[in-house]
Amino acid sequence: MKDEFFKSMNAVISKCLPGNSIDCVVFGYENYQLKTLLLKWKQEDLWSLPGGFIYLDEDLDAAAVRVLKERTGVTSMFLDQFYTFGEKERSKMNSKIISARFSNYTQQDLFGKNNFVEWIDKRFITTGYLALANIEKTLVNPDVFSEKYAWVNVHNLPELLLDHNKIIERALHQLRIQLNYMPIGISLLPEKFTMQDVQKLYEAILQKPLERSNFQRKMLKLDIFKREEKQLTGAANKAPYLYSFNKEKYNELLTRGIGFNY
């Protein structure tokens, strides 16, 4: 039992770079709320970001793609490195968590040669990746430390492992800045959507109300949408048009960018 666990973990760490990790802030959009994917640790009341280590022969960016694939099943999502966190104290809590987590093991179990506990009880530098996912299209698969997952409103988060709250804070800041020079949302919205859907998404990200008709005018002027037929299903009001993204024009705008020109 003990042997099994440590044998498998030692196998993992022997293939990974020591002292470096990645953490993914996966944003999703559901019920008009901006959410992020969290994993709950086995046994403990502790939530954390999905993350992982970098294989010795693997590019850093590739590690992020792999971890995201392992956790969500999705490969083709918006994924962007946004910051590397290297405060000297940031991973200090690892040892506490580890000792609580493995309190039924002996010191020898925990600190034998080439041991996982010893390996992880070091200072780590982690690189944060920002991902945008369509919640309905993901099939979340918790990692070996986790028993379950949840999509949690980013504006109502519990206290997380280590500096993960800070990492999410920074990812959100980055997302808001990105909104100012590139259209985001193709990854967060369903295939077809209304302009109100887009507006609600932007409001959820920016956390401020936007004027409806001007927002619509401005968005449509970007010329990245294709207007579909009228939406028939619906509520007690005039049926809105459905839109989809014109992916060529969307991607072109992504690379060209929008914004302040001199």
Partner DNA sequence: ATTTCAATGTATCATTATGACACAATAAAA
Partner DNA sequence: TTTTATTGTGTCATAATGATACATTGAAAT
Q: Which does 238 bind (CB under 5 to 8 A by kind): DNA, its own copies, none?
A: DNA
State the residues that interact with DNA by CB under 7 A: 194-196, 211-214, 216-218, 221, 230, 232-241, 260-261
**Nearer to its own copies (CB atom), residue 7 or residue 123:** 123
**Nearer to DNA (CB atom), residue 5 or residue 215:** 215
For residue 99, give every residue at least 6 positions away whose Cβ sits within 8 Å of its Cβ, in sequence order, or none.
Answer: 110
Residues 133, 187 contacting (CB under 8 angstroms): yes
Question: Which residue do the tokens 């992916």 mark?
Answer: 247
Question: Which residue do the tokens 């990492």 mark?
Answer: 167
**Nearer to DNA (CB atom), residue 27 or residue 243:** 243
Q: Which does 195 bind (CB under 5 to 8 A by kind): its own copies, DNA, none?
A: DNA
Residue type (1 letter), 178: Q
Q: What residues are paired with 16 via a beta bridge?
A: 55
Distance CA 105, CA 3 (A): 11
Q: Which does 45 bind (CB under 5 to 8 A by kind): DNA, its own copies, none?
A: none
Q: Which does 17 bind (CB under 5 to 8 A by kind): DNA, its own copies, none?
A: its own copies
* Apex 188 CA angle, 128 and 72, nearest 5: 60
Give min distance, CB of 87 to its own copies, in A: 5
* Bridging pattern class, strands 125-132 and 16-30: parallel
**Nearer to its own copies (CB atom), residue 136 or residue 260:** 260
Q: To 10 degrees, what angle do helices 195-206 and 164-181 make?
A: 130
State the residues that interact with its own copies by CB under 8 A: 17-20, 54, 56-61, 63, 81, 83-88, 123, 125, 127, 177, 179-181, 202, 206, 210, 215, 218-219, 257-262
